[in-house]
Protein backbone atom coordinates (compact mmCIF):
# COMPACT_ATOMS: atom_id res chain seq x y z
CA UNK A 1 0.00 0.00 0.00
CA UNK A 2 2.98 2.33 0.39
CA UNK A 3 3.52 5.31 2.61
CA UNK A 4 -0.09 6.50 2.33
CA UNK A 5 -1.52 3.31 3.78
CA UNK A 6 -1.18 4.65 7.33
CA UNK A 7 -1.12 7.99 9.12
CA UNK A 8 1.42 7.22 11.84
CA UNK A 9 5.16 6.84 11.89
CA UNK A 10 6.04 10.35 10.75
CA UNK A 11 7.93 12.73 12.98
CA UNK A 12 7.23 16.01 11.21
CA UNK A 13 3.97 15.59 9.28
CA UNK A 14 0.51 14.11 9.67
CA UNK A 15 -0.94 12.40 6.61
CA UNK A 16 -4.38 11.11 5.79
CA UNK A 17 -5.81 9.85 2.51
CA UNK A 18 -9.54 10.35 1.87
CA UNK A 19 -10.26 8.51 -1.36
CA UNK A 20 -8.20 10.45 -3.92
CA UNK A 21 -7.40 13.45 -1.69
CA UNK A 22 -4.21 13.45 0.38
CA UNK A 23 -3.99 15.82 3.34
CA UNK A 24 -0.44 16.62 4.48
CA UNK A 25 -0.20 18.62 7.70
CA UNK A 26 3.12 20.16 8.68
CA UNK A 27 3.28 19.19 12.34
CA UNK A 28 6.23 20.47 14.34
CA UNK A 29 4.29 22.61 16.84
CA UNK A 30 7.23 22.68 19.26
CA UNK A 31 9.28 24.43 16.56
CA UNK A 32 6.63 26.72 15.02
CA UNK A 33 6.30 24.23 12.16
CA UNK A 34 9.82 25.12 11.04
CA UNK A 35 11.52 23.28 8.19
CA UNK A 36 14.24 20.71 8.81
CA UNK A 37 15.76 17.81 6.86
CA UNK A 38 13.30 15.27 8.26
CA UNK A 39 10.32 17.38 7.20
CA UNK A 40 11.67 17.74 3.67
CA UNK A 41 12.39 14.01 3.38
CA UNK A 42 9.03 12.84 4.76
CA UNK A 43 7.04 15.38 2.74
CA UNK A 44 8.85 14.44 -0.48
CA UNK A 45 8.25 10.72 0.07
CA UNK A 46 4.52 11.28 0.50
CA UNK A 47 4.35 13.40 -2.65
CA UNK A 48 6.03 10.62 -4.60
CA UNK A 49 3.27 8.24 -3.50
CA UNK A 50 0.65 10.84 -4.42
CA UNK A 51 1.74 10.74 -8.06
CA UNK A 52 -0.18 7.48 -8.49
CA UNK A 53 -2.69 7.56 -5.66
CA UNK A 54 -4.02 11.11 -5.35
CA UNK A 55 -5.40 13.74 -7.66
CA UNK A 56 -5.60 16.47 -4.98
CA UNK A 57 -3.00 17.27 -2.31
CA UNK A 58 -3.92 19.63 0.53
CA UNK A 59 -1.04 21.20 2.47
CA UNK A 60 -1.87 22.49 5.96
CA UNK A 61 -0.20 23.62 9.15
CA UNK A 62 -1.69 24.14 12.59
CA UNK A 63 -4.41 26.74 13.28
CA UNK A 64 -1.78 29.14 14.67
CA UNK A 65 1.17 28.57 12.33
CA UNK A 66 1.19 27.27 8.77
CA UNK A 67 5.00 27.14 8.51
CA UNK A 68 7.55 29.59 9.89
CA UNK A 69 10.51 28.83 7.64
CA UNK A 70 13.99 27.57 8.53
CA UNK A 71 14.55 26.10 11.96
CA UNK A 72 16.55 28.86 13.64
CA UNK A 73 16.92 26.82 16.81
CA UNK A 74 18.82 24.11 14.92
CA UNK A 75 21.06 26.79 13.42
CA UNK A 76 21.69 28.30 16.86
CA UNK A 77 22.60 24.92 18.33
CA UNK A 78 25.00 24.30 15.47
CA UNK A 79 26.67 27.69 15.88
CA UNK A 80 27.16 27.19 19.62
CA UNK A 81 28.39 23.64 19.08
CA UNK A 82 31.87 24.52 17.88
CA UNK A 83 30.96 27.85 16.34
CA UNK A 84 29.97 26.43 12.96
CA UNK A 85 26.68 25.41 11.39
CA UNK A 86 26.44 22.52 8.94
CA UNK A 87 24.62 24.18 6.07
CA UNK A 88 21.46 22.42 4.95
CA UNK A 89 21.60 21.54 1.26
CA UNK A 90 18.88 23.75 -0.27
CA UNK A 91 18.28 21.50 -3.29
CA UNK A 92 15.91 18.94 -1.65
CA UNK A 93 13.63 21.74 -0.43
CA UNK A 94 13.65 23.44 -3.84
CA UNK A 95 12.82 20.09 -5.45
CA UNK A 96 10.01 19.56 -2.94
CA UNK A 97 8.43 22.86 -3.94
CA UNK A 98 8.90 21.91 -7.58
CA UNK A 99 7.02 18.67 -6.85
CA UNK A 100 4.12 20.71 -5.50
CA UNK A 101 4.19 23.05 -8.48
CA UNK A 102 4.50 20.46 -11.25
CA UNK A 103 3.28 17.11 -9.86
CA UNK A 104 0.31 15.31 -11.50
CA UNK A 105 -2.20 16.48 -8.91
CA UNK A 106 -3.87 19.71 -7.85
CA UNK A 107 -2.05 21.17 -4.86
CA UNK A 108 -3.85 23.39 -2.36
CA UNK A 109 -2.22 25.39 0.41
CA UNK A 110 -4.75 25.81 3.23
CA UNK A 111 -3.25 28.61 5.31
CA UNK A 112 -4.29 29.44 8.84
CA UNK A 113 -2.21 31.58 11.16
CA UNK A 114 1.30 32.63 10.17
CA UNK A 115 3.19 31.76 7.00
CA UNK A 116 6.73 33.12 7.00
CA UNK A 117 9.96 32.76 5.00
CA UNK A 118 10.19 29.17 3.74
CA UNK A 119 6.53 28.78 4.62
CA UNK A 120 5.82 31.17 1.75
CA UNK A 121 7.65 28.69 -0.48
CA UNK A 122 5.08 26.02 0.34
CA UNK A 123 2.29 28.52 -0.28
CA UNK A 124 3.59 29.91 -3.57
CA UNK A 125 4.42 26.48 -4.99
CA UNK A 126 0.81 25.29 -4.74
CA UNK A 127 -1.74 25.54 -7.55
CA UNK A 128 -4.38 27.07 -5.28
CA UNK A 129 -4.06 29.01 -2.02
CA UNK A 130 -7.00 29.23 0.37
CA UNK A 131 -6.69 31.05 3.68
CA UNK A 132 -8.59 32.24 6.69
CA UNK A 133 -9.10 35.96 7.20
CA UNK A 134 -6.70 35.95 10.18
CA UNK A 135 -3.80 34.50 8.18
CA UNK A 136 -0.66 36.60 7.67
CA UNK A 137 2.18 36.20 5.17
CA UNK A 138 5.75 37.47 5.56
CA UNK A 139 9.34 37.20 4.38
CA UNK A 140 11.66 38.02 7.28
CA UNK A 141 14.97 36.82 5.84
CA UNK A 142 16.68 40.15 5.08
CA UNK A 143 16.44 41.12 8.76
CA UNK A 144 19.15 38.52 9.39
CA UNK A 145 21.20 39.15 6.26
CA UNK A 146 19.58 36.23 4.47
CA UNK A 147 17.31 36.25 1.42
CA UNK A 148 14.34 34.13 0.28
CA UNK A 149 16.45 32.85 -2.61
CA UNK A 150 14.64 29.55 -3.21
CA UNK A 151 11.22 31.05 -2.46
CA UNK A 152 11.49 33.84 -5.03
CA UNK A 153 11.01 31.87 -8.28
CA UNK A 154 7.76 30.40 -6.96
CA UNK A 155 6.59 33.67 -5.40
CA UNK A 156 7.32 35.72 -8.53
CA UNK A 157 5.27 33.23 -10.54
CA UNK A 158 2.31 33.99 -8.27
CA UNK A 159 2.54 37.68 -7.47
CA UNK A 160 4.85 39.13 -10.10
CA UNK A 161 8.28 40.62 -9.51
CA UNK A 162 7.29 43.91 -7.86
CA UNK A 163 5.10 42.35 -5.14
CA UNK A 164 7.66 39.67 -4.34
CA UNK A 165 10.36 42.34 -4.20
CA UNK A 166 8.25 44.52 -1.89
CA UNK A 167 7.56 41.66 0.52
CA UNK A 168 11.28 40.78 0.59
CA UNK A 169 12.50 44.32 1.22
CA UNK A 170 9.86 45.38 3.75
CA UNK A 171 9.95 42.10 5.78
CA UNK A 172 6.56 43.02 7.28
CA UNK A 173 3.58 40.65 7.42
CA UNK A 174 0.74 41.29 5.00
CA UNK A 175 -2.83 40.31 5.95
CA UNK A 176 -4.91 37.75 4.11
CA UNK A 177 -7.01 40.25 2.17
CA UNK A 178 -3.91 41.99 0.85
CA UNK A 179 -2.40 38.63 -0.05
CA UNK A 180 -5.54 37.90 -2.05
CA UNK A 181 -5.37 41.26 -3.82
CA UNK A 182 -1.73 40.57 -4.73
CA UNK A 183 -2.44 37.10 -6.08
CA UNK A 184 -0.62 35.22 -3.33
CA UNK A 185 -3.94 33.84 -2.10
CA UNK A 186 -6.82 32.84 -4.38
CA UNK A 187 -9.68 32.94 -1.88
CA UNK A 188 -10.16 34.01 1.71
CA UNK A 189 -12.96 33.49 4.23
CA UNK A 190 -13.40 33.61 7.99
CA UNK A 191 -14.21 29.88 7.91
CA UNK A 192 -11.43 28.53 5.74
CA UNK A 193 -12.43 24.92 6.45
CA UNK A 194 -15.74 25.56 4.70
CA UNK A 195 -13.90 27.35 1.89
CA UNK A 196 -11.69 24.29 1.44
CA UNK A 197 -14.67 21.94 1.38
CA UNK A 198 -16.35 23.93 -1.38
CA UNK A 199 -13.23 23.84 -3.52
CA UNK A 200 -12.71 20.12 -2.97
CA UNK A 201 -16.28 19.35 -4.04
CA UNK A 202 -15.63 21.04 -7.36
CA UNK A 203 -12.10 19.76 -7.90
CA UNK A 204 -13.22 16.16 -7.32
CA UNK A 205 -15.15 16.38 -10.59
CA UNK A 206 -11.85 16.53 -12.50
CA UNK A 207 -10.21 13.32 -13.70
CA UNK A 208 -6.68 12.35 -12.70
CA UNK A 209 -5.74 12.09 -16.38
CA UNK A 210 -6.97 15.60 -17.16
CA UNK A 211 -5.07 17.04 -14.20
CA UNK A 212 -1.85 15.22 -15.15
CA UNK A 213 -2.01 16.39 -18.76
CA UNK A 214 -2.73 19.96 -17.72
CA UNK A 215 0.15 20.10 -15.23
CA UNK A 216 2.57 18.69 -17.83
CA UNK A 217 1.41 21.34 -20.28
CA UNK A 218 1.96 24.12 -17.75
CA UNK A 219 5.49 22.92 -17.10
CA UNK A 220 6.31 22.97 -20.82
CA UNK A 221 4.70 26.38 -21.17
CA UNK A 222 6.65 27.96 -18.33
CA UNK A 223 9.61 25.96 -16.98
CA UNK A 224 10.52 28.67 -14.47
CA UNK A 225 11.67 26.29 -11.74
CA UNK A 226 14.42 24.64 -13.82
CA UNK A 227 15.76 27.93 -15.17
CA UNK A 228 15.88 29.61 -11.77
CA UNK A 229 17.17 26.63 -9.78
CA UNK A 230 20.98 27.05 -10.09
CA UNK A 231 20.79 30.76 -9.22
CA UNK A 232 18.46 30.12 -6.27
CA UNK A 233 20.63 27.37 -4.81
CA UNK A 234 23.82 29.40 -5.17
CA UNK A 235 22.30 32.46 -3.48
CA UNK A 236 20.91 30.35 -0.64
CA UNK A 237 24.26 28.69 0.01
CA UNK A 238 26.01 32.06 -0.05
CA UNK A 239 23.89 33.68 2.67
CA UNK A 240 23.81 30.60 4.91
CA UNK A 241 27.61 30.26 4.62
CA UNK A 242 28.14 33.76 6.04
CA UNK A 243 29.15 33.31 9.67
CA UNK A 244 27.94 36.81 10.58
CA UNK A 245 24.43 35.87 9.47
CA UNK A 246 24.56 32.65 11.49
CA UNK A 247 25.74 34.56 14.56
CA UNK A 248 22.78 36.95 14.19
CA UNK A 249 20.39 34.02 14.09
CA UNK A 250 21.99 32.35 17.11
CA UNK A 251 21.82 35.57 19.11
CA UNK A 252 18.17 36.07 18.19
CA UNK A 253 17.20 32.57 19.33
CA UNK A 254 19.13 32.95 22.58
CA UNK A 255 18.15 36.51 23.54
CA UNK A 256 15.12 37.42 21.40
CA UNK A 257 17.02 40.48 20.15
CA UNK A 258 17.01 41.39 16.47
CA UNK A 259 20.36 42.23 14.82
CA UNK A 260 19.87 45.99 15.19
CA UNK A 261 19.02 45.78 18.92
CA UNK A 262 21.49 45.92 21.76
CA UNK A 263 25.26 45.83 21.41
* CA–CA distance, 219 with 125 (Å, rounded to integer): 13
Active site residue 52: no
Sheet containing strand 174-175, strands side by side: 65-67, 114-116, 136-138, 174-175
Active site residue 71: yes
Distances (CA, A) of 214 to 57, 101, 210: 16, 12, 6
* CA–CA distance, 133 with 115 (Å, rounded to integer): 13
**Which residue in 42, 74, 132, 141 is the catalytic one?**
141
13 bridge partner residues: 26
**Which residue in 42, 60, 71, 127 is the catalytic one?**
71
> Interior CA angle at 242 toward 240 and 245, to 5°?
80
* CA–CA distance, 72 with 252 (Å, rounded to integer): 9
Residues marked as catalytic: 71, 141
Amino acid sequence: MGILSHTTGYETIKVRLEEDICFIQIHRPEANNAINDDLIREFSEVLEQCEDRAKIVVVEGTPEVFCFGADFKEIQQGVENGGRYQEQNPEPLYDLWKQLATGPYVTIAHVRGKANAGGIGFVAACDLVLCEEKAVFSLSELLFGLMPACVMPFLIRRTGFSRANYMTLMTQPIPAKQAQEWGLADACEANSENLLRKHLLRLRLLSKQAISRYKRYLQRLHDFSDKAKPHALAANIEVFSDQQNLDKIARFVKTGQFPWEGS
